[in-house]
Amino acid sequence: MRSRAAASILTGAGFQEVYSMGGGIRAWKGLVAEGIPEAGMTYFSPATRPEEMIALAWLLEDGSCKFYESIAKIIEDREGKGVFENLKRSEENHKTTLWKMYEELSGKAPAPEFPDTVISAEPRGDVMEGGMSVSEALTWSEGKELKDILELSISLESNSYDLYLKMEKKVEDNRSKQVFKVLSEEEKKHLEQLTSLFNKRL
C-alpha cells in the first residue's frame, strides 16, 4: 500500500511515468542487497572525487580476491573450486581495470600505499565486497558446507553489484561511469554463476 501512496504522490508532483511494484519486495524472486543506503558510500562526502570511489572499489576487489583464493584452496568440490578460481581471476582483472582508471584520472601511478593514501576514512585493509572483513569471512567459512559458502558469496556479490550501480549513478565523470557500468555488469554475471552452482548444490 505504501508504494501506491508513493506513486500517487509522485504522479501528483508531475512525474511522467510511475509504476508501483505489485506485492512489494516479497513478490521479488531474485537477488536483493542488504545494508544501509549509504553502505560503502558513507566514506564519501557529497563532493567525492571519482578517484576516491575507484580506490574504495579497488580495496573491496582486493579483499574479495583474497577471499576467493583461499576458498578455492580449501573446498574439495571440483566444480566449486573452478568457480571460485574464476571469480578470483575476474576480481584480479577488476583490480587492474580500476588501477588503470586511477592512473588515467590522476595522471600518475598510484603510490605504493594505494589505496590508503586516497581513502581518508575507514575501511582499510582487510575488507571485501559487501564490507565484511576477509579474515572474519574465512573464519566463518571453516568447516562450512559449500552451499553455505556460496550463500555468503552471493550476498557479497549482491552488495557489490548494488554499490557499483550506485557509484555509476553518483560519479559525474563519463569514463568512470563507464567503468562502474562494466563492473556492475560483471558482478551480475558472478551472481549468476554463484546462484547456478548454489541451486545445484541445494
Partner 1 sequence: MSVLDYFKPVSTWSAEKVKEFLHQKNPEDFNLVDVRQPKEYEQNHLPGAQLIPVGELPNRFAELDPNKPTIVY
Does position 47 interact with partner 1 (CB under 8 A)? The reply is no
Query: What distance in Å separates the CA atoms of residue 185 and residue 87, rounded to the nearest whole number?
Result: 14
Query: What distance in Å separates the CA atoms of residue 8 and residue 5, rounded to the nearest whole number?
Result: 5
Among 8, 93, 117, 199, binds partner 1 (CB under 8 A): 8
Return the number of the residue (27 or 112) whose C-beta is nearest partner 1: 27
Does position 175 interact with partner 1 (CB under 8 A)? The reply is no
Least distance between partner 1 and beta carbon 106 (Å): 25
Query: What distance in Å separates the CA atoms of residue 83 and residue 25, rounded to the nearest whole number?
Result: 29
Q: Which of residues 78-97 bind partner 1 (CB under 8 A)?
A: none
Q: Secondary structure of 46-60 in the HEC alphabet?
A: CCCCHHHHHHHHHHH
Query: What distance in Å separates the CA atoms of residue 30 and residue 195, rounded to the nearest whole number?
Result: 10
- Peptide bond before residue 115 is cis, with ω within 30 degrees of 0: yes
Does position 107 interact with partner 1 (CB under 8 A)? The reply is no
Least distance between partner 1 and beta carbon 102 (Å): 22
Q: How many residues bind partner 1 (CB under 8 A)?
A: 45
Among 141, 158, 176, 193, binds partner 1 (CB under 8 A): 158
Say if CB 34 and CB 155 are below 8 A apart: yes
Give the DSSP letter of residue 131: S
Query: What distance in Å separates the CA atoms of residue 180 and residue 173, rounded to the nearest whole number?
Result: 11
Query: What distance in Å separates the CA atoms of residue 137 and residue 144, rounded to the nearest whole number?
Result: 11
Does position 9 interact with partner 1 (CB under 8 A)? The reply is yes
Does position 194 interact with partner 1 (CB under 8 A)? The reply is no
Least distance between partner 1 and beta carbon 107 (Å): 27
Least distance between partner 1 and beta carbon 42 (Å): 13
Among 52, 169, 179, 182, binds partner 1 (CB under 8 A): 169
> Which residue ranges make up the site for partner 1 (CB under 8 A)?
2-25, 27-37, 158, 161-162, 165-166, 168-169, 177, 181, 184
